[in-house]
Amino acid sequence: MSDTTGTDTSRRAGTGPTGWHVLLLASLDRSRERLARALDGVSAEQASARPVDELAPRIDSLAWLAWHTAREIDLQVSALSGSEPLWTAADFVGRFALPLPTDTEDWHHTPAESAQVTVTDTTLLDDYLDAAYALVREYVEGLTEADLDEAVDEWQNQPVTLGVRLSSVIDDAAQHAGAAVSARRLLGLPG
């Protein structure tokens, strides 16, 4: 069984595997579903517009929120798996053709920088989101429970485990998916 994003929902129906894999994947699925709903029926112009630019320039466009979510998943999971990011490997950098450096640190974008993330077709946003979510799903499905305790980084002189890093990826995706729904509503669109 799958939903409108092609995501296998049988796990949520209780017919598939159980355990921590399901918890992580279900959390990811929910953010992807929310982003799909936020982008549904939206024109490229609407997606690229910051909904209340003059009043609140930090409320980013649907295009930036979807692009940043895909990119955040892509860059973090590619680094964890030791693979080249989809951004360059699948030429999303060329397909988006943004007027920003290839290695732009989107998590530090100013309102002026985020406004440069625009699209001429929202299909590109869905394509990058689908690729990034497929990447993280495949990565999570290949992990063992013991892998989650592996230290993959350090922050404030404390080890960051793979489980904590994946929780951060999921949390960021959920936050930006929720912001995308709010941005859609601020554009005056239903949903």
Per-residue model confidence (pLDDT) at position 59: 84
The CA distance from 62 to 125, in Å, is 9
Per-residue model confidence (pLDDT) at position 105: 78
Residues in the chain predicted with pLDDT less than 70, given as ranges, are: 1-18, 57
Per-residue model confidence (pLDDT) at position 71: 95
Per-residue model confidence (pLDDT) at position 6: 53
Per-residue model confidence (pLDDT) at position 9: 45
Per-residue model confidence (pLDDT) at position 51: 87
- DSSP assignments along 92-156, one per residue: HHHHH--SS-TT--GGG--HHHHTT---S-THHHHHHHHHHHHHHHHHHHT--GGGGGSEEEEET
Residue-wise pLDDT tens digits, 34-51: 999 999 999 999 999 988
